[in-house]
A = this chain, B = another copy of it.
Amino acid sequence: MKVSTPLDSGSAPATVIGDVTDRMCPSRGILEHVTSRWGVLVLIALRERGYRFSELRRAVAGVSEKMLAQTLQTLERDGFVHREAHPVIPPRVDYSLTPLGEQAAGLVGRLGRWVERALPAVEAARRAYDSR
């Protein structure tokens, strides 16, 4: 972490900025949460709209119930996902992005779209590599 103290150090507080290349910096853990296998796909899915747990599990094809619950809890604790439990019968829980989560999901979504478009180039590179 770097602590940047403003030059004009009046009442303005010091700004803490993380450093993902520093193994001790907690920002590295946050980066791992938003880039985790299921974290990425949950953020991308929630960009569309809020989801109930079971809907989200279908949208993020392949995730187990346990891994989805764990991923959502991690993203909720980090302030990226809002969990809303409705006191109805049967119980209903909705998940949506917070404003902070929308920013993260926007950047992750751009990366996802880029990868989708890079697919033919990557497959060509793999064929070249494998035939060496």
Chain A: residues with CB nearer than 8 A to chain B? Answer: 1, 15-23, 25-27, 30-32, 34-37, 40-41, 44-45, 59-62, 76-79, 100, 103-104, 107-108, 110-112, 114-126, 128-130
Knowing A79-B121, A79-B125, A119-B26, the reply to whether A20 touches B61 (Cβ < 8 A) is no
Decide: A129 and B76 in contact? CB cutoff 8 A: yes
Pull 12 A–B residue pairs with CB atoms less than 8 Å apart, ordered by A.
Answer: A16-B119, A17-B116, A18-B117, A21-B61, A23-B61, A27-B115, A27-B116, A27-B119, A31-B111, A77-B126, A79-B122, A100-B122
Decide: A126 and B78 in contact? CB cutoff 8 A: yes
Decide: A30 and B111 in contact? CB cutoff 8 A: no
